[in-house]
Amino acid sequence: MTRADPHGEVIVDRLSLADEIVGGGEEAATADAAEYALWLGDDALVLAQCLGWWISRGPELEEDMALANIALDLLGHARSLLSHAGTADGRTEDDLAYWRDEREFRCAQLAELPNGDYAHTLVRQLAFAVFQVELYDRLQESSDATLAAIAAKAAKEVAYHREHSTEWFRRLALGTDDSRRRLLTALEHVWPYVGDLFRDEPLLDRLEGVAVRPSTLRAPFDQAMGALAAETGIELPDPDLARGGGRHGIHTEHLGLLLAELQVLARAHPGATW
């Protein structure tokens, strides 16, 4: 009797594969919507690039798996968002990822902060996940059909990222004296950049119904983080200490190096396909 193993069957030929890039073939983005898509796409791309470093370096193999899953989700979001941004002027996701210079990147500075130890990575990831959960929840209502579709897929994924980061925050906060000390140090380094995520820019005035006003995400973010901080007895540092400016192309010293690595090979071979 031959019977297919009902568990874990991976049959390549019979798979129904979902689209890799969400929203392909929809209407082209307006120039403003494209700029907004770069905000979110660059956040996701730069975060994915940072998290990719952990693959083979995680604190435990199971955590290598988790961080890689998160990185792959974010890279998926980045590819969809950059592809959409590119429809405004005929560029591809790779044109945008590999051939823009530092000052043309629109990620928040928070995304480009160094990985540091696991606590630094975790704090950065938690802040983004909590922010993105609120963001993508609302962006599903966007009048830009592609942004809405990307948000609908991303919303489910970032909900898991938040869960994962929240659980680890609890463990680092309440685990050992050493882990708590490291968490506090990480918060001190990372948290000053959080406020930048919530600043409204003039661009938003031209994107009514298309984009989500960052300032409107502040209250639910503060509530979620406040509850977690209270539960774990952690005092969160001032989130508005750093000057920010990533949405205008003003970055930390870290982004240049990160991009140098990301782009080096592609730029050595202009016009090549891979």
Partner 1 sequence: MTTPGAADAREIWPLWEVFVRANRGLSHVHAGSLHAPDATMAIQNARDLYTRRGEGVSIWVVPAESITTSDPDARGAWFESPAGKNYRHAVYYTKSEGVPHL
Partner 2 sequence: MAQSPTAQVPTTEIDDDPDGRARFDELIAADSRIEPRDWMPAAYRKNLVRQISQHAHSEIIGMQPEANWISRAPSLKRKAILMAKVQDEAGHGLYLYSAAQTLGTPRDEMFQALVDGRARYSSIFNYPTLGWADMGAIGWLVDGAAICNQVPLCRASYGPYARAMVRICKEESFHQRQGFEILLELMHGTPAQRAMAQDAVDRWYAPSLMMFGPPDEESVNSQQSMAWNIKRFSNDDLRQRFVDMLVPQAEALGVTLPDPDLRFDEATGHWAYGELDWHEFQEVLGGRGPCNTQRLAHRRAAFEDGAWVREAAAAYARKQADAAEQAA
CA distances from 176 to 158, 173, 180, 231 (A): 28, 8, 6, 16
164 binds partner 1 (CB under 8 A): yes
Rule CB under 8 A: choose which of 3, 14, 25, 60 binds partner 1: 60
DSSP category for residue 237: P
Q: Decide: 194 and 242 in contact? Cβ < 8 Å.
A: no
Specify the residue, 10 or 272, whose C-beta has the smaller distance to partner 1. 10
Query: What is the binding site for partner 2 (CB under 8 A)?
Result: 5, 8-10, 12, 20, 45, 48-49, 52-53, 55-65, 68-69, 71-72, 75-76, 78-79, 82, 93-94, 97-98, 117-118, 168, 170-172, 174-176, 178-179, 182, 261-262, 264-266, 269, 271-274
* Count of C-beta atoms within a 10 Å radius of residue 209: 8
Specify the residue, 103 or 181, whose C-beta has the smaller distance to partner 2. 181
231 binds partner 1 (CB under 8 A): no
- 212-231: b or e for each residue (b if 16 or more CB lie within 10 Å)? bebeebbebbbebbeebbee
Specify the residue, 145 or 175, whose C-beta has the smaller distance to partner 1. 175
Nearest approach, Cβ of residue 252 and partner 2 (Å)? 18
Give 258-269 as a DSSP string: HHHHHHHHHHHS
CA end-to-end span of the chain, whole Å? 45
Specify the residue, 209 or 268, whose C-beta has the smaller distance to partner 2. 268
Binding site for partner 1 (CB under 8 A): 6-10, 60, 62, 65-66, 69, 160, 163-164, 167, 171
